[in-house]
A = this chain, B = another copy of it.
């Protein structure tokens, strides 16, 4: 494998193992064995597990980058909102280890926490622009008032802590339960959604 491919394979294998077990339970040896390279070769690419966790985090950030972006050159529609929610919970599932261990990971690694906070601020801005555009396009009903920020922060918390919630009172290894997070988001959004949304996407609604 070339350097690039080996780095990718390490990140991919680490993500897979972290999801299956916990970050604490996965060693660098474990990751090396998974892709059939020597521990020495792994250490050539990443000095320790923290660096691998950060690399997985960076890949996650990259995968999220386009999710809350507006469609280029046209107003967003009810379908855009539905698809964006779908993609959101697909990524929550794909990187489920991260939400599950959110607090512990960020507490252990201040460098990771700083990156996370920067991404949080950026996402909340994108999130706000997206919601404002939906309101302007009549997909959601609310006018933009000052409590809108509170609503968006509430929706962020539900999304970001859904896996933690399932960890405690449900089953975070069941994709159907992970997907049910969409219904909770739609239930919170319900009074703000236009009839258009429910006409086009009744299957996304809380009464599937």
Assembly stoichiometry (copies): 2
Assess the B188–A154 pair: CB atoms within 8 A. Answer: yes
A147 contact from B102, B146, B148, B186, Cβ within 8 A: B186
CB of A121, distance to nearest CB on chain B (Å): 8
Closest chain B residue to A117, Cβ basis: B169
B-chain residues with CB within 8 Å of residue A185 when the two chains form the complex? 154
B-chain residues with CB within 8 Å of residue A157 when the two chains form the complex? 157-158, 161-162, 165, 184
Q: Is A151 an interface residue (CB 8 A)?
A: yes
Docked complex: A130-179 residues within 8 A CB-CB of B: 142, 146-151, 153-154, 157-158, 160-162, 164-165, 167-169
Q: Is A190 an interface residue (CB 8 A)?
A: yes
CB of A149, distance to nearest CB on chain B (Å): 8
Q: Is A77 an interface residue (CB 8 A)?
A: no
Distance between Cα atoms of A164 and B190 in the complex (Å): 26
Distance between Cα atoms of A162 and B205 in the complex (Å): 26
Whether A150 touches B188, Cβ cut-off 8 Å, given contacts A102-B164, A167-B103, is yes
B-chain residues with CB within 8 Å of residue A101 when the two chains form the complex? 103
CB of A182, distance to nearest CB on chain B (Å): 10
CB of A8, distance to nearest CB on chain B (Å): 28
Assess the A206–B168 pair: CB atoms within 8 A. Answer: no
Sample (15) of A-B pairs whose CB atoms are under 8 Å apart: A100-B103, A103-B164, A103-B167, A106-B167, A113-B168, A142-B191, A146-B206, A150-B183, A151-B190, A153-B184, A153-B187, A154-B188, A160-B165, A188-B188, A191-B192
